[in-house]
């Protein structure tokens, strides 16, 4: 059994209660409710991950499909200037795990929530216009920004971090309910290790290199 993140428990309970009511009203509706309850439980699943550990290793912050590998200016609220940085974006469908993880180890120095629109998260414009939670990490390689973006269906970003937290690569940083995407902005000279269309696994897939990967990688289990 895959663990369920506690942020999803009220939703699963609500779906379960609604299912019981639907069974009382009309059995076919109850079966539909049961299927939706099972989907809701699967949506909030929170599996353990084995995170690669090496100098310069950047791991995927989210499960899903790599939607963008390009250069872009980080969100203005983080104060990182107007110089474009390597950006790697991962799009999550409603069937992916939605617990997000920090791509690198570092200290949270900023965490800013910005209200916005709910465009399709696959639209590049969503990076600038959608509701988002922008996180700035102070790391040995320099500043790394992680931006959790609400999508067409997603309506709530749940932070699982606080300013001042010292995070280990692969540690949970938040959850986006019902769809969305996560952007990572990396320091100068970082090089991507993934391509658009590739599938990524949060906390496990290497997406970039900031310092030259070592020949051998170790792993650490992040619960």
Name 1's Cβ contacts closer than 8 Å, sequence gap at least 6.
none
* Annotated catalytic residue within 89, 126, 180, 190: 180
Average pLDDT over residues 189-200: 94
Q: State the average pLDDT for the chain.
A: 87
Question: Structure pTM?
Answer: 0.83
Would the pLDDT of 14 be above 50?
A: yes
Identify whether the C-beta of residue 52 lies closer than 8 Å to the C-beta of residue 206: yes
Name 135's Cβ contacts closer than 8 Å, sequence gap at least 6.
108, 110, 111, 145, 146, 147, 148, 161, 173
Higher pLDDT residue, 120 or 139?
139
Would the pLDDT of 91 be above 80?
A: yes
Name 168's Cβ contacts closer than 8 Å, sequence gap at least 6.
51, 102, 105, 220, 222
Higher pLDDT residue, 169 or 151?
169
Q: Do the strands 206-209 and 191-192 form a parallel or antiparallel pair, or are they unpaired?
A: antiparallel
Average pLDDT over residues 119-147: 83
Average pLDDT over residues 38-50: 86
Identify whether the C-beta of residue 92 lies closer than 8 Å to the C-beta of residue 176: yes
Residues 33, 156: Cα–Cα separation, whole Å: 23
Identify whether the C-beta of residue 99 lies closer than 8 Å to the C-beta of residue 175: yes
**Predicted pLDDT at 201:** 97
DSSP string, 91-111: EE-TTS--EEE-SS-EEEEEE
Q: What is the CA radius of gyration of the chain?
A: 18
Report the Cα–Cα distance between both ends of the chain, in Å, rounded.
14
Average pLDDT over residues 92-117: 90
**Predicted pLDDT at 215:** 45
Phi and psi based region of residue 142 (left: phi greater than 0; alpha: psi -120 to 50; beta: remaining):
left
Active site residue 82: no
202's tokens: 């949060």
High-pLDDT (> 90) share of the chain, %: 59
Average pLDDT over residues 58-72: 95
**Predicted pLDDT at 178:** 63
Higher pLDDT residue, 165 or 178?
165
Whole-Å CA distances, 132 to 7, 66, 175, 179: 18, 18, 12, 13
Q: Which residue has the tokens 């499960």?
A: 63
């Amino acid at each position: 059994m895959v663990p369920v993140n506690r942020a999803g428990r009220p939703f699963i309970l609500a779906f379960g209660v609604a299912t019981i009511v639907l069974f009382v009203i009309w059995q076919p509706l109850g079966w539909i409710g049961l299927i939706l309850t099972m989907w809701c439980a699967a949506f909030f699943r929170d599996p353990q991950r084995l995170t690669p550990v090496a100098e310069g290793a950047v791991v995927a912050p989210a499960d899903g499909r790599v939607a963008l590998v390009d250069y872009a200016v980080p969100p203005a609220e983080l104060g990182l200037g107007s110089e474009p940085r390597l950006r790697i974006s991962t799009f999550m469908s409603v069937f992916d795990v939605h617990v997000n993880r920090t791509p690198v180890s570092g200290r949270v120095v900023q965490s800013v929530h910005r209200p916005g629109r709910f465009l399709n998260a696959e639209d590049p414009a969503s990076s600038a216009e959608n509701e988002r939670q922008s996180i700035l990490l102070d790391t040995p390689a320099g500043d790394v920004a992680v931006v959790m973006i609400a999508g067409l269906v997603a309506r709530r970003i749940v932070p699982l971090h606080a300013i001042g937290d010292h995070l280990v690569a692969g540690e949970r940083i938040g959850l986006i309910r019902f769809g969305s995407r996560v952007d990572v902005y990396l320091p100068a000279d970082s090089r991507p290790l993934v391509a658009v269309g590739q599938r990524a696994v949060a906390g496990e897939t290497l997406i970039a290199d900031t310092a030259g990967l070592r020949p051998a990688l170790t792993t650490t289990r992040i619960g």
